[in-house]
Amino acid sequence: MRKVACIGAGMTLFRRRMLETPKEMCWEAAAMALDQAGLTIADVDAVVFGSAPDAFDGIHMKGENVLDGCGGTGKPYVRVFTGGGTAVFSPIAAYWHVASGTFDCVLVVNEEKMSSCQPHAQSVFGYIWDPILDRPLKPNLVWIFAMEMNRYMTVHNIRYEDVAAVAVKNKRNAVAHPCAQLPDPNITVEDVMNSEVMAWPVHRLDISPPSDGASALVICSQDFIKRKKVKSPPVWFSGVGWAIDTTFWTDRDLVFPEYLARAAKMAYKQARIDNPRKQIDFAEPYDPFDYKELHHMEGLLLCKKGEAPKLTREGVTQRDGDLPTCPSGGLLGVGNPIAATMGIKVGELYWQLSGQAGKRQIPHEVHTGVTNAWGDLMQFSAVAVMRA
Amino acid sequence: MRVGIVGVGIVPFRPVTPEYSWKEIMYEAASRAYADAGVDPRTDVGSFITCAEDYWEGFGIFDEFTPDQIGAALRPACTVTGDGIHGLAQGVMQVQAGLADVVAVEAHSKISDLLTYDGVVRHAMDPIWNKPLGGHPYYIAGLEMASYLKASKVTERECAAVVAKNRQNAMTNERAAHGAKVDAQDVLDSPPIATPLKSLDVAPLADTAVVIVLAAEARARKLSSNPIWVRGTGWSSDTPWLETRTWERAKYAEDAARMAYRLAKVARAQTAFDVAEVDDKFSYKEPQHLEALGLVKKGSTAAAIKRGDFEVDGKLPVNPSGGSLGCGNVIEASGLHRVAEVALQLRGEAGRNQVDGARTGLAASWRGVPTTSGAVAVLGVGR
């Protein structure tokens, strides 16, 4: 199979409200990624776009509207969509564009503009439910994630302060990220525990903020790097996987994300990883809520079920720990423009593994990283393993 | 690596399907396709792709509602927000990248559930520059038709003849919803929508679901005695701006065809195909697409229509299924349905509309107003 690499990444600021239109944000991120790769849009054979619900931007066929901002005019252009999972899934789509031999160089752009949705992005999440079984109950996302968090904490007898420690770690890590929306160098576990309760046990500071933003990656084949004499250092995709579980979330045991374990096994098989905890040096698990980082570490098979809080408590997941997680600052610290979090997931893997993460750089040598993104009704995960 | 179609499932088109939910109609198409391919989705299918758009479906994140009814629970599955041929192309690449051996591609239309079709289409227009102008969004098709007719020798009468042909073809296609005996004069006399576009120039909406099962070459040969090879796919988009797009030609189709022909090694498109299914969501789109795809020489389209070259027994049968005009406009399922119809033609299973001895075929799609995105698939049997 053809070797596929990421050779450039870019992202806009993540902010509560950006003045740029969706396509302007796409352009900004795409231009940065191309600049880093030392390429222009003329070098790009095809464009992949990723975004979560169209209703945030309030445009039907959002992908068609932003296509010129992504550099898609006159090119093969396609949008893939797996809810929040798009953050890691659209780079996987770009991977198969190149690995299949169809294209040599593909630009991936992910964008989300949640602030256009008034009064709050949560109102769009009123339309993600089964219209007969769920919608009459008027659920919202915090509500169901509270159930999942509660189930996870109850089964494994996890203390709330061990979950809150994740928010503290990530928001502190985000201080070193130039795009961050909610960095806080002084935040403590007490601050998280004392923040407003949204739906027990979820507190305000357990949740990542809604954001506007865009990110982009340049993904290409090994031959392309040689032929174009690309100077930007490559980081290779060594395994990709994705899986979706049943729509009926009420029928699942929420304590463990089985769909993520399946996606991870698919990626690890391709990457020839049989002992993830030993063979993976750091991780960017998807962390829209603090407990999700723990949940995803277990789903990624980086630790035993119920063991992730212990690793966090012992400092193993700190940037200088043995298994750093979310060195970027994650969604909790940098912000959560759903699909655009590609910039702090696959993008962070690229910057860390190519030694370009600046103040965020993990102090010891890292060779292999894994990331995942999570979406739909607590139901989908995409996983990518990358190597320097 | 070659990729073949080993299973086809089409739910017959109907203007309304009140007894089906969107899940049930998807389930039926998937069951038909898996039975046709002889595969068990829970063990044999490595990846599932649904082609859908949130606003068509009435959901915030429609991808959530796709897995169960196509057998994809706890398996790799995703949504492509594009036409069915965009999805088919992703499936082909997944197989070629070694990510899956067998891929199921699904697309559907439950457009009869949508009470505000024109409002949703208008919602796809640029929210700052175009949407505030108001009007039924099909004025874009009217403008495009006017500009195409002016640039080509095709007139409203030839467009009307396309409608008559396709609705007649649909009369003998058991899967079609809008077959009718309509002659060109009926079309010309039908009420105007956005001159020169008249109401019978517009493909009426319909519901359906279509599933196609793809397999890698070795697997395809095991599963089927006659796999339909996907020799090449192509897709492309022109600018989304109304203000700067190419109006008189279907540039996206030209680019998509160039890519598909390169991959399929088609040197001369005019003689390469025995049958073609090309998008005809509006009557003028069929000749405009035929020119863009290089299936007819520019300037000779009108004469070819008059000669009946595109009839089922003509030189190059176009839309023998009845197309969107005759079967119904099934939004994102349109392209996948046409791939399925070509596959049935190449298998010799197209019933009363069978083109004798068809061995190569082409399917081309367009995502409809107000987009400039389309996709092309080149299919063939034998070596």
Same domain, yes or no: B301 and B356: yes
The mean per-residue pLDDT over the stretch A288-314 comes to 98
How much of chain A, in percent, has pLDDT values that exceed 70? 100
Same domain, yes or no: B178 and B305: yes
Q: What pLDDT sits at residue B298?
A: 85
Same domain, yes or no: B31 and B58: yes
Same domain, yes or no: B276 and B376: yes
Please answer yes or no on whether A96 and B94 come within 8 Å at the CB atom. yes
Same domain, yes or no: B187 and B296: yes
- Read off the CATH number of the domain in which A351 is found: 3.40.47.10
How far does A133 lie from chain B, in Å, by closest CA? 13
Average pLDDT, chain A: 97
Identify the three-state secondary structure at position A86. helix
Same domain, yes or no: B358 and B289: yes
The mean per-residue pLDDT over the stretch B268-280 comes to 97
A361 class by beta-carbon count within 10 Å (0-12 exposed, 13-18 middle, 19+ buried): middle
Same domain, yes or no: B152 and B90: no
How far does B245 lie from chain A, in Å, by closest CA? 10
Rounded-to-integer distance, Cα B340 and Cα B346, Å: 10
The mean per-residue pLDDT over the stretch A35-48 comes to 98
Q: What pLDDT sits at residue A123?
A: 87
State the virtual CA torsion across B15, B21, B22, B25 in degrees, nearest 10.
-70
Residues of A in contact with B82 (CB under 8 A): 63, 78-79
In a domain, B126, yes or no: no
Nearest chain A residue to B242, by CA: A65
The model's confidence at residue B344, banded by pLDDT at 50, 70 and 90, is very high
The model's confidence at residue A1, banded by pLDDT at 50, 70 and 90, is confident
Same domain, yes or no: B154 and B299: yes
Residue A223 half-sphere exposure toward CB, CA atoms < 13 A: 7
How far does A302 lie from chain B, in Å, by closest CA? 20
Adjacent-strand bridge partners of B375: B235, B365
Average pLDDT, chain B: 97
Residue B313 makes CB contacts below 8 A (sequence gap 6+) with none
Same domain, yes or no: B71 and B140: no
The mean per-residue pLDDT over the stretch B68-80 comes to 98
Same domain, yes or no: B275 and B146: yes
The model's confidence at residue A30, banded by pLDDT at 50, 70 and 90, is very high
The total number of residues shown for chain A amounts to: 388
Residue A185 makes CB contacts below 8 A (sequence gap 6+) with A172, A175
The DSSP string of B231-264 is EEEEEEE--S-TTTS--SS-HHHHHHHHHHHHHH
The mean per-residue pLDDT over the stretch A4-29 comes to 97
- Structure tokens of B235? 């897709």
The mean per-residue pLDDT over the stretch A16-30 comes to 96
Give the count of domains, chain A: 1
The mean per-residue pLDDT over the stretch A301-307 comes to 98
Q: What pLDDT sits at residue A384?
A: 98
Tell which of B173, B195, B223 closes a domain: B223
In a domain, B81, yes or no: yes
Q: What pLDDT sits at residue B17?
A: 97
Provide the residue type at A352 as one letter. Answer: Q
Rounded-to-integer distance, Cα A79 and Cα A97, Å: 12
Adjacent-strand bridge partners of B202: B282
How far does B61 lie from chain A, in Å, by closest CA? 5
Q: What pLDDT sits at residue A118?
A: 86
In a domain, B260, yes or no: yes
The mean per-residue pLDDT over the stretch A30-52 comes to 98
State the virtual CA torsion across A249, A253, A257, A262 in degrees, nearest 10.
-90
Q: Please determine, for the modelled complex, whether the ipTM score is greater than 0.95.
A: yes
Tell which of B156, B191, B223 closes a domain: B223
- Structure tokens of A298? 């277990």
Same domain, yes or no: B371 and B346: yes
pLDDT for residue A285 is more than 90: yes
Please answer yes or no on whether A82 and B238 come within 8 Å at the CB atom. no
* Residue A140 at interface with chain B, using a CB cutoff of 8 Å: no
Interface test with B, best of A61, A118, A374 (most B CBs within 10 A): A61
Rounded-to-integer distance, Cα B168 and Cα B180, Å: 6
pLDDT for residue B375 is more than 80: yes
The mean per-residue pLDDT over the stretch A279-287 comes to 98
pLDDT for residue B383 is more than 80: no
pLDDT for residue B260 is more than 80: yes
Could you tell me the end-to-end alpha-carbon distance of chain A, in angstroms, rounded to an integer? Answer: 18
Residues of B in contact with A248 (CB under 8 A): 68
CB A325 within 8 A of CB A317: yes
CB pairs under 8 A between A and B: 187
pLDDT for residue B143 is more than 80: yes
Tell which of B193, B223, B253 closes a domain: B223
pLDDT for residue A122 is more than 90: no
In a domain, B284, yes or no: yes
Q: What pLDDT sits at residue B358?
A: 97
Q: What pLDDT sits at residue B16?
A: 97
pLDDT for residue B93 is more than 90: yes
Give the count of domains, chain B: 2
In a domain, A155, yes or no: no
Q: What pLDDT sits at residue A111?
A: 97
The mean per-residue pLDDT over the stretch A36-47 comes to 98
In a domain, B127, yes or no: no
The DSSP string of A91-132 is HHHHHHHHHTTS-SEEEEEEEEE-TTSSS-GGGGGGGSS-TT
In a domain, A67, yes or no: yes
pLDDT for residue A286 is more than 90: yes
Give whole-number Cα distances, A238 to A97, A324, A327, B114, B324, in Å. Answer: 15, 20, 21, 43, 43
Strand stretches in chain A, DSSP E: 4-11, 46-50, 77-81, 105-113, 197-199, 202-203, 212-221, 235-244, 282-284, 368-375, 380-387
The model's confidence at residue A252, banded by pLDDT at 50, 70 and 90, is very high
The mean per-residue pLDDT over the stretch A258-263 comes to 98
Q: What domain range is B86 assigned to?
A: 3-115+206-223
The DSSP string of A249-310 is GGGS-TTS-HHHHHHHHHHHHHHT-S-HHHH--EEE---SBHHHHHHHHHHTTSS-TT-HHH
Q: Which of A74, A258, A379 lies nearest to residue B64, judging by beta carbons? A: A379
Rounded-to-integer distance, Cα A274 and Cα A373, Å: 21
Nearest chain A residue to B91, by CA: A96
- Structure tokens of B382? 């034998």
The DSSP string of B99-127 is S-SEEEEEEEE-GGG-S-HHHHHHTTS-T
Rounded-to-integer distance, Cα A267 and Cα A91, Å: 14
pLDDT digits (tens, 9 = 90+) for B323-343: 999 999 999 999 999 999 999
The mean per-residue pLDDT over the stretch B179-188 comes to 98
The mean per-residue pLDDT over the stretch A274-295 comes to 98
Same domain, yes or no: B99 and B72: yes
- Read off the CATH number of the domain in which B87 is found: 3.40.47.10
Q: What domain range is A381 assigned to?
A: 4-118+209-387
